[in-house]
Every structure is written in structure tokens, then in C-alpha cells.
Amino acid sequence: MIVVPNEYKKSNLRKLIVDADVSIGSWSQSNLVNYAHKLKVYQNTGAGVDNFNLSLFQDKNIIIGNTHENSIYVAEYAIAILFYILKNFDYYFDNRNNRFKKVNKIPTKTLYKKKIGLIGYGAISKRIQSLMKGFENNFFINNYSKKIKNNNQQKIQTIKKILELSDIIFICVPLTSKTKNLINKDNSKILKNKIIINISRAEVIDPNAVKSLIKHNILIYDSNYSDKKKSKELEDKKSKNLLLSHYIAAIDEFASFPLSHIATNLINYSIKGRLINYVDYEKEY
């Protein structure tokens, strides 16, 4: 039996989840598992679980399912931002009057044959790589489990080496205890004349490293740290090398509630007793 709540007040949801075997929701409803007595699967409507109390789910032996359906839209957005930077749209385009400016021409940069670093090689990174096929890029990937099949990509053992080799760096890792402050004061020192696009949570970049990063590189990311004071400091920081981009990548005309992937995941669970996409508690994603 499928139960669709007639109202989404917490008091009503608490009653409904008591006897549920499976529940579908986001991180904002995840605390409801405190009231669940029979729950076996909690299907997240997104991919990230950094806002979940994972130990609570693990203690109750609840499997968390997730979905990567919106990865194509996030990848498109990341590449769109890249072209915005490469082609100097901020310099050439007059948003106020909706026209290109009559200004002195300055050289733009090309994506063709650039060296691309992919830190994290999940759904988003793979989409980025696929969308950039025609530009004959070389890709450097820090991925240990998958076999590298294409001639234009190399498996790199360390993050530091990827940072050194790449012209453009996409950071696409989940936020976990291991990836927090992945880009920090130490490894940011080796970065010079790079474009860094962080698709991950803000905390993947140490806020104390931002000043040195934007001195010699262009950094694009969402500065929405859990430490609101740090977020405010970065939002007030004026630099042509810092572009703050909020989490709007999946707000697309076709990006919506990822129903088809969720349905496939849960159907597989009902037939085979396992989810296709689920969270590994040891890896925290």
C-alpha cells in the first residue's frame, strides 16, 4: 500500500512513518526516522547526505537510497560557468542594457585541448567529461576503482598532482569527513593561473585558503558554509577572481523531482531486495 500524505505537517508525518516500510523524502524530513519502528529504506530525493544524521540511520539498520538523475543539469551548469569565464562575458556583455559593450578587445581563452582535472569521478564528473568530448581535452582523474579506458584520460594517484597538471579543475566530491577542507592552505599554494569550479559543498574548500586561491586563480563556488560568519566574509569579498554561485544548477526546465530514478530504485528493492543507488555508511555517501 502506498500512502501519500494529505498534509505535510510534521505531526502528521510522524504518525504516518511509524508503520512505514519505505519512506521517500529529503534531508529536511530525515529526522522523522526517530519515530519509525519498521522502516527498512529511506529514499532520498537527491544525491548528497551530508545533512543527514547517518549514525541514526545506521543504528536503526535503515538503508538510505539516493539518486543522481539531475547530474546532467549540474554538469551543463558547470560548463556554462566555465565558458562565461573563458570568453570574458562579464567584460564584454552589458547586462543593464542587454547588449554587448563597445570596449577595447581583449583576448579570450579557449577550452580546446586544455588539461582538465576531475576531482571525484561520479555521475557529475562523467557527464562533464562526456559533454566536453569535442574539445580534445586531456583529463586527469583521481579515481582508484574504475578502469581507465580512454586514451585522453589518465588516472592520477594524488589530488596534489591533479592540481599541478590541470589548467581547469572541477571539484565534484561528496562532502564527508575525509573531503572537508580537501582544498586547503597547503595544497592551494601550488595553484597558479588555474580555473577552479567547485560543484561540491562549500566546506570542501577551506575558507582560510580562499584568499590565497583567488590571488593567482579564478575560483567559482557556493560560499554557503555552515559557519555563517565565514559565508558573510566571503560574500563581502570583492575580487574579479572570485565568482560566487549559489546552488541553482539543478533548477532546469526538465530537472524536477527525480521520480523515474526513485521508482526504478525502489522497484529493484521490491523485486531483488536491494537498491541500485544507496549510501555506503563507511564512505559517508
Span 142-175, pLDDT tens digits: 865 555 556 677 888 789 999 999 999 999 999 9
The residue among 89, 87, 93 whose CA lies nearest residue 112 is: 87
For residues 67 and 74, give the distance between their C-alpha atoms in angstroms, rounded to a whole number: 13
| 192 close to 216: Cβ distance less than 8 angstroms | yes
The pLDDT score that the predictor gives to residue 211 is 85
Pick the CATH number of 71-244 from 3.30.300.130, 3.30.70.270, 3.40.50.720, 3.20.20.70: 3.40.50.720
For residues 216 and 195, give the distance between their C-alpha atoms in angstroms, rounded to a whole number: 10
Q: Over the range 243-264, which residues count as b (16 or more CB within 10 Å of their CB) and which as e?
A: bebeeebbeeeebeebeebbeb
Q: Give me the helices (H) in 97-256, please.
A: 123-131, 159-165, 185-188, 210-216, 228-236
- What does the DSSP 8-state code read for residue 179? T
Region 96-107 average pLDDT: 71
pLDDT bracket for residue 260 (50, 70, 90): confident
Find the range with the poorest average confidence among 174-183, 230-239, 251-260: 251-260
Q: Is the pLDDT of residue 33 over 60?
A: yes
What grid cell was written down for 109? 581563452
For residues 131 and 124, give the distance between their C-alpha atoms in angstroms, rounded to a whole number: 11
Q: Which amino acid is at 251?
A: I
Residues in Cβ contact with 60 at an 8 Å cutoff, skipping those fewer than 6 apart: 33, 36, 39
Say whether 71-244 and 10-69+258-272 share the same fold. yes
**pLDDT tens profile 186-207:** 999 899 999 999 999 889 999 8
Q: Where are the domains of the chain?
A: 10-69+258-272, 71-244
The fourth-level CATH superfamily of domain 10-69+258-272 is: NAD(P)-binding Rossmann-like Domain (3.40.50.720)
Q: Is the pLDDT of residue 255 over 60?
A: no
This prediction has a pTM of 0.87
The pLDDT score that the predictor gives to residue 149 is 58
The pLDDT score that the predictor gives to residue 97 is 66
Residue linked to cell 591533479: 162
Q: Is the pLDDT of residue 31 over 90?
A: no
